[in-house]
Amino acid sequence: METKATHPFVNEAFCLLPDHLHCIWSLPDGDGDFSTRWRKIKGLFTARFRASGGAEDLLNASRLVRREASVWQRRFWEHWIRDEIDLRRHLDYIHYNPVKHGHVSNPAAWEWSSFGRFLRDGHYPIGWGEGEEPTTCCGIESEISEP
């Protein structure tokens, strides 16, 4: 919440996995500063993680010199959503990710994502992502692949 107070954004969708996370954010018009937001979020999370007794991996020499924690990867990947189909492909990708990585058998079983909200709001049919990997996106037959 502290980051949103100084650098507003809307977290449209997310999926938190044991070793990475995916988010789809909306930023204010004319604002493309993802880096500051991620730096603030990572810093606040790491401070609270350490304060609560969270243990980190051993730091390598490079991280020691840069005074970096080992909780997060250094970089992040950003992609500007081009249109509604691109948005749906990214939503499908992040919501199916826990199944892809073998954590659950269907997206509805993964509680650390926005899939349940999208399912309740009617954006996905009941049973989406169960069994075989989905091949529809926006009602269009397509291969669900890494966006």
Q: State the total domains in the chain.
A: 2
Tell me whether residue 137 is in a domain: yes
Both 48 and 7 in one domain: the answer is yes
Structure tokens at 107: 């997206």
What is the pTM assigned to this prediction?
Answer: 0.77
Give the model confidence (pLDDT) of 7-65 as tens digits: 999 999 999 988 788 999 999 999 999 989 988 888 887 778 778 886 666 655 655 56
CA of 19: how far to CAs of 2, 61, 118, 123, in Å? 24, 22, 23, 27
Tell me whether residue 34 is in a domain: yes
Looking at residue 139, its pLDDT comes to 44
Tell me whether residue 75 is in a domain: no
Whole-angstrom Cα distance, residue 97 to residue 110? Answer: 10
Whole-angstrom Cα distance, residue 53 to residue 55? Answer: 6
Tell me whether residue 23 is in a domain: yes
Whole-angstrom Cα distance, residue 22 to residue 77? Answer: 10
- Residues spanned by the domain of 19: 2-66
